[in-house]
Amino acid sequence: MNATVASARLIAPEALEPPVGRKVRPYAVAIALIVVLVWFCIDLEMTPAVFGKGLASLRRFIGAMIPPHDGGQPWRIVLALVETFAMAVSGTAIAAVFAAPLGVLAAKAVVRNAVIHFAVRRVMDLFRGIPALVWALILVSAVGLGPFAGVLALAFADIPRLAKLHAEAIENLDQRPLEALRAAGAGRLAAIRFAAVPQLAPIWSSQILYYLEQNFRNAAILGIVGAGGIGFALEERIRIFAFDQVAYIVLLYCVCVGILDWISSRIRARLT
């Protein structure tokens, strides 16, 4: 085969060369991407002058943040952090309660009715695309400012995502323990209790813990739109240009996020 190709190259090398279009195509794509990028930069006014002005403003902003200061009321910041954690826990708990039955209904291995399975899947797909921040904007208008809107926003955003993960966990179950128990004469509920639940419990718990981590981060963002928590305290200080207090809140919040992530990762490692 190699000898044949070599002979062909000697006799008619141009016959084995790639077409001109295939040669030019990568360069054309690269040029097109560069043109689009330049157009975006022009449209967004991302000029060198704007960059220079932005960097100068950023230096002044960072200078105003140093040194960090608690504003003489550290207990208010701590209470806002506690409120943020409570929002994350509450939102995750509500999501977990509703995601469990939806995950079961969305699993093909459990629900044989194609209509129910299809309907649940499509509804989850529809709502999974709505982020928590959009839910917060809607719910703040509906129920007013405060942590209650934030809790509902986190729950509404998490339910379809968590249900999808639960459904995938059910569909990936090892069926052999279930089949063995059914063959030994165990009923359907007994087989689920002693074969399916021990497999699902650590997986679902790990997924819930992961969403708790995410919700603690998301809850801070939701506070900026009036949904309570540390984000609301942060937005208040940004509005009055108290950037030293902003730095204090951000640093304290980063420490809390790191601690929560470490604890959660250790627990999830034990579960899996």
Residues 207 and 215: their CA atoms lie apart, in Å, by 12
pLDDT score, position 97: 92
User: Residue 193's pLDDT is what?
Assistant: 67
Distinct helix (H) and strand (E) counts, the chain:
12, 0
Q: Is the pTM of this model over 0.85?
A: no
Q: What are phi and psi for residue 144, nearest 5 degrees?
A: 95, 170
The Cα 197–Cα 192 span in angstroms is 6
**pLDDT for the residue 181:** 67
* CB-count exposure of residue 152 (10 Å: 0-12, 13-18, 19+): buried
- The whole-number pLDDT of residue 113 equals 73
- For CATH 1.10.3720.10, the residue range(s) in the chain are 74-271
Strand, helix or coil for residue 173: coil
What own/partner pairs with CB < 8 Å and gap ≥ 24 does 181-188 have? none
Query: CA dihedral in degrees (22, 28, 30, 34; nearest 10)?
Result: -170
Burial class (CB in 10 A: 0-12, 13-18, 19+), 145: middle
What does residue 75 show for φ and ψ, rounded to 5 degrees?
Answer: -65, -30
CATH 1.10.3720.10 fits 74-271, yes or no: yes
Q: How far is CA 176 from the centre of its chain?
A: 33
CA dihedral 239, 240, 246, 249 (to 10 degrees): -90
Q: How many CB atoms lie within 10 A of CB 122?
A: 11
Measure the CA–CA gap between 173 and 272, rounded to whole angstroms: 14
Per-residue pLDDT tens listing for the chain (272 residues): 555 555 545 555 555 455 555 667 777 888 889 988 888 877 777 777 777 777 888 788 788 778 888 777 788 888 888 888 898 999 999 999 999 888 888 877 666 777 887 888 888 888 888 888 888 888 888 888 788 888 899 999 999 999 888 888 887 776 677 667 667 766 666 666 666 777 777 888 888 888 898 888 888 888 777 777 788 888 888 888 888 888 888 888 888 888 888 888 888 777 76
Distance of CA 254 to the CA centre of its chain: 18
Which of 125, 126, 129, 106 lies closest to 116, judged by CA?
A: 106
The pLDDT assigned to 155 comes to 92
The pLDDT of residue 272: 66
User: Residue 264: which of 200, 214, 198 has the closest Cα?
Assistant: 214
Enumerate residues 6+ apart whose C-beta is below 8 A from 170: 103, 104, 107, 109, 110, 196, 200
Give Cα separations from 186 to 18, 83, 171, 249, 264 (angstroms).
65, 47, 21, 56, 36
